[in-house]
Amino acid sequence: MQILDGKVVAESINKENEERIKRKKTKPNIAILGIKGDEASNTYIKRIEKNCQKFGIGFNLFLAETEEQFKANFEKIKDDEKITGIMFQQPLPKELLELVDEIPPIKDIEGVSSYNMGRLFLGKERAIIPCTSKAVIEVLDYYNIDLTGKKVVVVGRSNIVGKPLIPQLLQKNATVTICHSKTKNLKEETRNADVVIMAIGKARFLKKEDIKDGAILIDVGINFEDGKIVGDIDFEDIKEKASMCTPVPGGIGTITNAVLIRNIIESSEKF
């Protein structure tokens, strides 16, 4: 089985990122808005901060104590010309999440506003695409995997992975099936697929008996098991049967970081 190496794909994107940012007179400068919270999201924020520093991207963190303060922070920065990109750090209460649609499209570096999602969905140019879903497409492109007519099964229907993958896979002429927790005979669906994209957050869920010979597997899952990070695919189990698979760690997550940097660089040029 060929390992689809996320590090190689990320390096290739980051090389381009470096060149593009060198050419920019004004460096991007992003703001992350959140509410003081759990450790997991702090780790994530720290990784973004480190990445931004590496690329000379300005990084501003606004962690609010209250919802009111979050709103005030948002009001202050959303039309600030010095801020070129805005991210909301999840989890957030529903009311605050709705504010995402007030992020100016040009600053929506995660592509999570209704406007950007609509553009992606409708196949319009200049859509900013949610990073993780785009990372899946990047690995397929890097390894020249042609999806035309192929049966692609996406397991997971989230707004940041499963759903935004649909228009991107259709664009590549794949026949796309979306499965989720209510799907009957999930394993029958995955067994019939040429390509399976797993994004359900269940550790080592997909086994060799759930795939067909030579299947191409993409693992979006990030799960913690006995202090180790594992994906939604049982990598050891499938490796004799699948033809290609992304590892976890070192797969989609690694590419996602590089795609976010590209989104940060590109968003301000898009509109």
- Is 91 near its own copies (CB under 8 A)? no
Q: Is 222 helix (H, G, I), strand (E, B) or coil?
A: coil
Q: Which stretch binds its own copies (CB under 8 A): 144-152, 207-215, 217-225, 235-243?
A: 144-152
Burial of 115 (0-12, 13-18, 19+ CB in 10 A): middle
Among residues 36, 72, 159, 271, the one that binds its own copies under rule CB under 8 A? 159
Q: Interface mask (CB under 8 A) for its own copies, residues 183-222, using x and -?
A: xx----x---------------------------------
Smaller CB separation from its own copies, 1 or 170: 170
Cα-only R_g, the chain: 19
The CA distance from 218 to 251, in Å, is 8
- Residue 157 CA: distances (Å) to CA of 163, 176, 180, 183, 185: 5, 12, 6, 11, 16
The CA distance from 210 to 15, in Å, is 37
- Is 106 near its own copies (CB under 8 A)? no
CB of 251 to its own copies, least distance (A): 25
CB of 93 to its own copies, least distance (A): 15
Smaller CB separation from its own copies, 5 or 189: 189
**Helix (H) or strand (E) segment spanning residue 132:** helix 131-142
Residues binding its own copies (CB under 8 A): 98, 101, 113-119, 121-124, 148-151, 157, 159, 163, 166-167, 170, 173, 175-180, 182-184, 189
